[in-house]
Structures are given as structure tokens and as C-alpha cells.
Structure 1
């Protein structure tokens, strides 16, 4: 049974649960589209759509072909936390644009490159173009701004030529020739930010509202000091003058016990009726025993209302004349709320994500991701079956192995999968994995050891050696097993069934905070098969997976059941 949230007045944040950070949004007609960062994962640049801003469904990915991510944009051997960062999704005259950065650091060095590029499509579902690399564009987190005069502008973030202190950033703009995907004219230095003097300024977005140009950016780092700040100008090329009431959104002034923290990296947008909203990222404080709590899901996409308010008087000697107009985020409370009034009253359901895959289609469902571009022959699909081939690689930095997963959507869930696995090579293993990063995962597998099948659970904690949580003979194993992983009461519970789910044997549990997200992405629930360095023709076959999430609702909020 899966709980769902039903309320005639409110929706529940996050609007897209699971590790979907750095949201960027655009509206085309009555449909809204969100694109998120994907870092080292492939396919990259996930895209969702919605008619009501509350119920979101998959569209697909901007980087959906291996060729898009195997050359100038390198997701083949990319380091953890590098890869695709902070996209901007925009639409103009029948074309969708995604502009973003690929960070790549070659093995053996911390020095890397930031490749800024654009992909385009006339249909949001693709196909998307190959990357158009923007030469001469330093830094990260670019944005495209289309001005009323028909010009397009590249808005980027880079370190200033003469920084005043470590971590200072600077936002700049450059006219962009979209027919050739080249920068033209001079670079214009716009703003170094407001919070802490502009430390770690990033994620800029440019808007034009009632004749003024607005430059919004994230500052303070994507942690508890994260914040959104904004500045105004009469010209796209500046100079820009900051809002005296910056930051316009942050959780750094709230207790570490607040239900969400690290809010920031937002994108503003307007509804057809004139109202404004913002999407931003935030981290739920749901797991951890002491101090600041975190989440297994990491940074997720949230929604909040925005109202424009004019300053009560013209008290500025510099900048645009007159009483300035500024966006006010969440005007009733000033923060991202767990429950917020529905944008559209006719849309009243926000169902918790539940996903079941029986592998009937010719292609994988968009839920599935790989850590880096998968190797050829890693898996095959046939009606009702996914075959995962044993490859020599194991989970480790910069490596692509036979590992694939779907995002954990809530802190509490049940994950089930049925596997047929009859290995011939000693040491080969296959089963499931719950993974955060290459140095933080738990594998729940069947392993062939000296001709005997064993059920094994191993945990890799950050900065610690891998350790065994459970290891026993499967005396009654005949080649088929159902895995069950449950998360409840702040712990992961592992069990298996040898009779097609008729009964389950419990074998281990571990605290959920051993798989907390400390980085840019969140936890995945996946499938794993490895020959551990050996050549092997072994494989595992899976007939279904099911991820049933459970909402942690406030005590006063009722919940309805949904199968």
C-alpha cells in the first residue's frame, strides 16, 4: 500500500521528489517544463512536464545518445560530482534550448575544464542536437537571455580577473550568435553578488520585467548558507544594483531543525494569468542522529509563490530612477513550506511516486540511469526481461560497471525485484545495490563461492573500508530469488524470498544515515552484476522491479491508500 497526499487546498513539496537538483523552468502555452542537473549520470539533463505545476511526468533527457556525451562533453570516465551542472532551459520561436556546463578533470589531477555548450530541439521529447560548444566562454552555470530587440545573450559565471578574496565570483554577459553558436562583441562584467561579498556566486538567470533587467543568482555555496540574490539595471549590459533586501530566498536564518535547508538555485517564471512562481532546490532534514539532518535523496526540486512589490519610496542615488520593483519569495512566510496553496485549484492531487517496470518496451524507461556512459553490451532487453551481463568492473571512481538504478524518491519505501541468476564462474555476483557514490553504497547480491550460492550484503561507507553485513549459504536456492529492500524508522531492512514472494527471510538492517547525500546527487536503488575482474559470460535476468514510496506526512494530515 502506498500513501498519497490529497488536499483540496495545498500541494506538497518537493514537487519532484528524488535527486533532481538545480531546476530550470520554462512555460510554452499551458505546459511547464523543468530540466535538472545530472552530473556524472547518463542519460543526462532529465526533463519533466506538467500542466498544473504539481503533478510532473517524464519527458526524457537532453543528453540521450552516447555520442552526445563521449567527446567534448565527456561522461565516459568523469569524476564523481563533475559532469553536467546547472542547466538553463529556454524556449524561443519554436526551438527549445538547454545551455549548461560539463566539468571534467582528467585522471591524476584536480585541474579540469569547464565546457559550456548548448543543445537544441524543436520537440521537447527530442531528438536533441549534438552539443554546440561555446568557445571563449569561461566558468560555469550559463544562462540564455532573449531580449525584446531580438538579441540573445550568454550570461555566465567566472572568477574575476582580480578577485578580492578566495571564492569571489563574477557574473558576465556576452552577445550570442545562435546561428553559429558563437560569442560576438565585447564581454560585459555585470555583478559580483551581494551575500558575503559574492562568495561562490553562481547559477545566474536574467529576466526583463516592466522595462527593467533583473539578474538573479545563487550565492553562499549549495549548503546551509545557500541563498538567492537579485540586482536590477536599465540595460542588459549593466551596471546592476542589488536589492537592499537581499537575499530574497534562503534558509540560513532558520534552525537546522527546519524541515528543509540549503534552499536556493532558483528560476523565476510567470503564469498566463500574471502570477509568478519560483522553482528552487532544497534538502530535506529527515535523517541523521545529531546536529544538522540531511536526506538520502539529496537536493530536490521545490516550488514557491512569488509576488512583485514596489519599494515604498525612491531613496536611491544610483541606478534606475523611481521606486524599484522587486520579487518577494513566499510572501506569507519567506521560506519554502512543506505544504503550500495549490497554484490551480482544479488540480488537487499530488501522488507519491511509485514505479513498477516489467521491461515490456523496446527501450528502458526514463527512470533508469547509469553512472557514466554504459559500456556496450552491458544489458539487453526482451519482452518481460532485462538481462544484465556480468562485466569485470566493480563500483569505483571513474568506472562504468554493470550498475543501473532509479532514484530513491522518499525516505521510506519498499523496493522489490525478481532475479534469475545461474552463474558458472566462481566469484561472480548479481543482485541489487543502493548507491550514493562510488565510495558509498550497499550491495545485496547472490554470489557464487566455490560452487555454492551465498547471499551477501556489503556496505561501503565514505572514507572507510567495505565491510560485510551478512553472508550465508543459500541451501535451497534453485536459480531464482526475490530481493526486498525496505526503508522505515530511519533504517534500511534487507530480506529475500525463494518462493516468489510467498515468504521473506530477513537477513540484515542498517541505519539510513550511512547512505546520506553529502554531495550534488541523491540515492539510487539499482541492479548490479559483476565478475569481479574475471572474464565471464554470466548474466542475471530481472522480470520486474517495483519502488513503492511512502510519504512522511504531518501528524494532522490524513492519507489515502493507493495500490
Structure 2
């Protein structure tokens, strides 16, 4: 029996995993999205439930961690999640550059949050002063000492892009660094050594990193030491995982940034990121989380015989690559597909899957469970460093049908409301109903450029809006909800599928939006019956 990678479809990059008994917990980067730091739970490594977020309150994301007007690809980077003495820890970085950035400003704030339950609530962020770089790791040693593992650019950088992993003891009582700073490793010569994690196994310390940048040259590399402060020796068989040697036609690329977990029965697995090669080597979901089996073996061919007894991790033994359909970790537990999403708004609050781009105005959204609708107040459109008036969930498949019913008030006049695929501030496909020259119309735009406009009957109040993507590209259509003919009317077809390829850290959101054309107007629209389903190739 097999499962299908990725195990977390959609924009879930930079995974970090920990085990508590029979339970596994995983956290991912969230960049400018809110809620931030999505946390999933599993008992079999292939079926994951979104149980909460590390950053789930407005107060956590204003000061000192700012998500109000964070720049694209800024925000929350590469977390580490660990469990120790009844408490869960997430350590991560917020990268924030103010719009009027003062000279000498440090854009990276590394911080810790804690919780007794991964579902929350999580504590207020505690910033660790004097900790440069991104992608921090926290390591609890057997002797009770706690260590911070970080990245930085060395002063004597040998080549552009060279990084270095450093280590310093962390005082959890004061959340501050103490003692000597140790410089551990600069990787194997690849760019941007980052994403460090330290493990202790078989009496030795292992430092695992990401190298090569988050792209086609991405890789996982490992070094080992008899003491935590070093010196670290590089695995002679590095990298232990990459896809850069598999060519441009392999089903997944850019694999790297891994984290290891050991199971109760002693087996090991790695979670890592990768980009599906759906269109031109990319996909609109960006970087997703995959699962790889791991074993340990000695290097019997080392030049230095004194090092030949070191055990090294072997990823995906026999193939050395992220497989699309590997064997199930637990053969008696089958994988349940998670490529679909439905919300009829019957609950009093939004499902955990809904997310926003930057910290939203919570007064702009209201769930109406008695009417089974989501009400959105018209507000700011998608633009640079703006919290737009939208709510979205992660796109989880390249070929899909995304549908929602839009309900227009009789006073509808000043907004552009509908459904959209939002990749970034200036990278999106938007289908909106609007008033133009006092006529009701429906328009489709790509990256702000209008592609098509169709006229609607003036009495229209309820529409089913649909965006689909198949081998021919994106198609936008609608039908007037409740009409007996149930006729589907095409607005535009065959928008090239590469129009929305992820060129960024994150993937697309499938959104409901209502953008105001007048700052002085207050207007609402309602949505119901939201569906997303995967289409077969």
C-alpha cells in the first residue's frame, strides 16, 4: 500500500515536525498570511488535520511582530517546533522592512512562542535580542542545557551567498542568549546554508541544513560532531537529499529544507519541501510538504578510517529521491485525500482553513450561520503592502474547479465583488461583478489588466461564479443562481496556465473578495456554497 506526496498539498513550505507519544505535530512557514504558523496533527504521518495556528491573535502580530503592512515574501520564515517537559515551542523569524526603513534597521526578529496544547492558545512572541539571521532552531540537550542554532553571513564571506551556522546557549527564563557564540559550519559550498536543525543520535550530534537556495539547486546536507559545539565533519555523501540531478522532467523539484522525526518503533522519516512539476517545472501551489523514509548507515568508504563508524542518514533508501507514491508508514492506515474543500458557513466562526493576506480588519467579515453565508464588507483591493478585503484558502491542486455563490444587495453600487486566485500583490486572476456606467457587468482581469467584460441582466442578485483550470488553461464562467435553465455562461476561456505560476515563496489562495471603488462607501456582499475540487488530468 502506498500514499501520495505531497502529504500537505497547498502552500505549506519549510516544514518542522515533532512527536509526542503516538502524536505527530507539524508547523510551516506562513510569510505574510494571517493566521500565521499553521499547525497540523497526525497519528500516521500521511493524514494531517489543521488544528490551529501559532499566531492566531491580532495582539501577537502588531508589535514587535508586525503583519499589518508586511512586504510580500516577508513575514514568518522557516519555524522549528519542539516539545519539552510538557510545553510546545515554536521558534521562528519575522522579516519586516518598514516602508520608511531607517538606516541600520535589522529586518529580522527571531522569537519564541509556547503552548501547552498545539491547538492553542499560544503565548505572546518573545523576541531574542542579538540573534541575527533567519531560520532558527531550538535544541534541548540531555544535560538540561538549551541551545539556539542560527544562521548569518560571515564577515569573511568567501563568495556571494555563503552563509554560516552558529550556536549559542539560550536562557529560557529570560529568553536571551548567554555564553560564547560558536560557529559550526558553512555547508558544502552551496549558496545560502540555512534551515538548521540539530539532533542527537547514537551518541553524536548531527547538524542538518538546507543549501542551494529555494529553487532547483535546493538540497539537504548533514554534518556531525562528538560535541555540540563542534568541530563538525561533513557527510562525505552530501547532499543526502536533492532533486537537482534528476533533470527538469521529474515530477517534483527544489526538494530540501528537511526535518527529521523518529517513531516509537525506532524508524525515521523526514518531512521536506518540494515544488510539483505541473507546468514548466513549477506549480501554482508553490512549495508543499512531502514525506521521505530515512535509515542510518556507516560510511565504510571514508578516506579517514577514524570517521568511518559515524552513522549518516540515508533518505529514501534505494532511490534517494522524493517519490510520488512511496509505501505507507503504517500499512493498515490508508491516506484520505485532502485536495477538496467545502464551506457552507453553518458554523458561527470561519473554518481554520480560511486565511488572509496580512492582518485583516476583523469587522470586515461576519459569518451568518442562520443564513449559511459569509458577509464581506467592501474594502481595499489587492495592492502592495495592503490588507485587502478578501478571505481565502490554499489552492491544493493544479487542475481544479473553484466555485462560490455571490449574493448582491439591492443597493449594490460601489464594489467589485467575486472570486479570485491571489498569488501575490501584483500577481492574480480576479473575476468580479461590478456596476459600470450604471449597468451590471462581470469582468475578468489578470494582474490588473482587464481581459473580458460581459453584461449581466440588471435584476441579477445571485450568481454562481466558477474558475476552473484544466490542460487548456484557466476558464471563468457563471450561471444565474436559481434559474430553471441553469445555463453556464462562459466569460473567457483558455487563459494560459502559466499565467499564475508561483514565482515566489508561497502558493495561491482561492479567495472571496469585495473591493471598494469608493473609500467613503460602506457596502456588503454575501457568499455561500464555496467548493473546491480536484479535476482529473
Question: TM-score range, shorter-chain basis?
Answer: over 0.9
Residue of structure 2 in register with 1:421 after alignment? 408
Q: Would you say the 8 A contact 2:236–2:302 is kept in 1?
A: no
Relative to structure 1, is the Cα distance of residues 217 and 490 closer, same or farther in structure 2, using a 3 angstrom cutoff? farther
Relative to structure 1, is the Cα distance of residues 477 and 294 closer, same or farther in structure 2, using a 3 angstrom cutoff? farther
Residues 440-459 of structure 1 aligned to structure 2 (within 5 Å)? 440-459=427-446
What is the count of residue pairs matched by the alignment?
A: 530
Q: Would you say the 8 A contact 2:414–2:518 is kept in 1?
A: no
What's the CA shift for 1:248? 0.6
The alignment yields a C-alpha RMSD, in angstroms, of 1.6
Residue of structure 2 in register with 1:507 after alignment? 491
What's the CA shift for 1:423? 6.2
For 1:278-306, what per-residue CA distance to the aligned partner results, in whole angstroms no more than 9, with x for missing partners? 00000001013xxxx21011100000111
Residues 308-347 of structure 1 aligned to structure 2 (within 5 Å)? 308-312=296-300, 315-316=303-304, 323-347=309-333
Q: Would you say the 8 A contact 1:425–1:536 is kept in 2?
A: no
Residues 188-199 of structure 1 aligned to structure 2 (within 5 Å)? 188-194=182-188, 197-199=189-191
Determine helix, strand or coil for the equivalent of 1:10: coil
Q: Would you say the 8 A contact 2:300–2:308 is kept in 1?
A: no
Residue of structure 1 in register with 2:387 after alignment? 400
For 1:394-440, what per-residue CA distance to the aligned partner results, in whole angstroms no more than 9, with x for missing partners? 11110012011111101111111111113646442111111100111
Distance in 2 separating the partners of 1:151 and 1:500: 65
| 2:52 equivalent to 1:60 | yes
Relative to structure 1, is the Cα distance of residues 106 and 323 closer, same or farther in structure 2, using a 3 angstrom cutoff? same
Relative to structure 1, is the Cα distance of residues 500 and 265 closer, same or farther in structure 2, using a 3 angstrom cutoff? farther
Determine helix, strand or coil for the equivalent of 1:513: helix
Q: Would you say the 8 A contact 2:406–2:462 is kept in 1?
A: yes
| 2:526 equivalent to 1:541 | yes
Alignment counterpart, residue 147 of structure 1, candidates 130, 141, 148:
141
Q: Would you say the 8 A contact 1:431–1:446 is kept in 2?
A: yes
For 1:415-467, what per-residue CA distance to the aligned partner results, in whole angstroms no more than 9, with x for missing partners? 1111111364644211111110011101111101232211111111xxxxx32
Residues 110-509 of structure 1 aligned to structure 2 (within 5 Å)? 112-194=106-188, 197-288=189-280, 293-312=281-300, 315-316=303-304, 323-383=309-369, 384-391=372-379, 393-422=380-409, 424=411, 426-460=413-447, 466-475=448-457, 477-500=459-482, 502-509=486-493
| 2:494 equivalent to 1:528 | no
Relative to structure 1, is the Cα distance of residues 100 and 475 closer, same or farther in structure 2, using a 3 angstrom cutoff? same
What's the CA shift for 1:349? 2.9
Determine helix, strand or coil for the equivalent of 1:102: strand
Misfit runs of 4+, over 2 Å: 108-112, 313-317, 422-427, 499-503
Relative to structure 1, is the Cα distance of residues 112 and 433 closer, same or farther in structure 2, using a 3 angstrom cutoff? farther
Distance in 2 separating the partners of 1:412 and 1:322: 48
Determine helix, strand or coil for the equivalent of 1:340: coil
Relative to structure 1, is the Cα distance of residues 273 and 538 closer, same or farther in structure 2, using a 3 angstrom cutoff? same
Relative to structure 1, is the Cα distance of residues 252 and 322 closer, same or farther in structure 2, using a 3 angstrom cutoff? closer
Distance in 2 separating the partners of 1:486 and 1:540: 23
What's the CA shift for 1:499? 3.1
Q: Would you say the 8 A contact 1:426–1:450 is kept in 2?
A: no
Relative to structure 1, is the Cα distance of residues 108 and 29 closer, same or farther in structure 2, using a 3 angstrom cutoff? same
What's the CA shift for 1:109? 5.1
Distance in 1 separating the partners of 2:415 and 2:190: 52
Residue of structure 2 in register with 1:559 after alignment? none
Q: Would you say the 8 A contact 1:44–1:84 is kept in 2?
A: yes
Residue of structure 2 in register with 1:557 after alignment? none
For 1:503-529, what per-residue CA distance to the aligned partner results, in whole angstroms no more than 9, with x for missing partners? 311111212210000110001110110
Distance in 2 separating the partners of 1:490 and 1:126: 43
TM-score by length of 1: 0.92
What's the CA shift for 1:484? 1.2
Distance in 2 separating the partners of 1:75 and 1:451: 38
Distance in 1 separating the partners of 2:61 and 2:514: 24
For 1:112-134, what per-residue CA distance to the aligned partner results, in whole angstroms no more than 9, with x for missing partners? 51000000000111000000111
Distance in 2 separating the partners of 1:416 and 1:410: 14
Q: Would you say the 8 A contact 1:12–1:350 is kept in 2?
A: no
Residue of structure 2 in register with 1:20 after alignment? 12
What's the CA shift for 1:351? 1.4
Q: Which ranges of structure 1 fall in alignment gaps of 5 or more residues?
A: 1-8, 461-465, 553-563
State the structure with bigger RCO (CA 8 A, min sep 6), 1 or 2.
1
For 1:60-104, what per-residue CA distance to the aligned partner results, in whole angstroms no more than 9, with x for missing partners? 100000110111111100000000000001101110000000001
Determine helix, strand or coil for the equivalent of 1:442: strand
Residue of structure 2 in register with 1:519 after alignment? 504
Determine helix, strand or coil for the equivalent of 1:514: helix
Distance in 2 separating the partners of 1:176 and 1:266: 23
Q: Would you say the 8 A contact 1:215–1:230 is kept in 2?
A: yes
Relative to structure 1, is the Cα distance of residues 490 and 115 closer, same or farther in structure 2, using a 3 angstrom cutoff? farther
Distance in 1 separating the partners of 2:141 and 2:168: 13
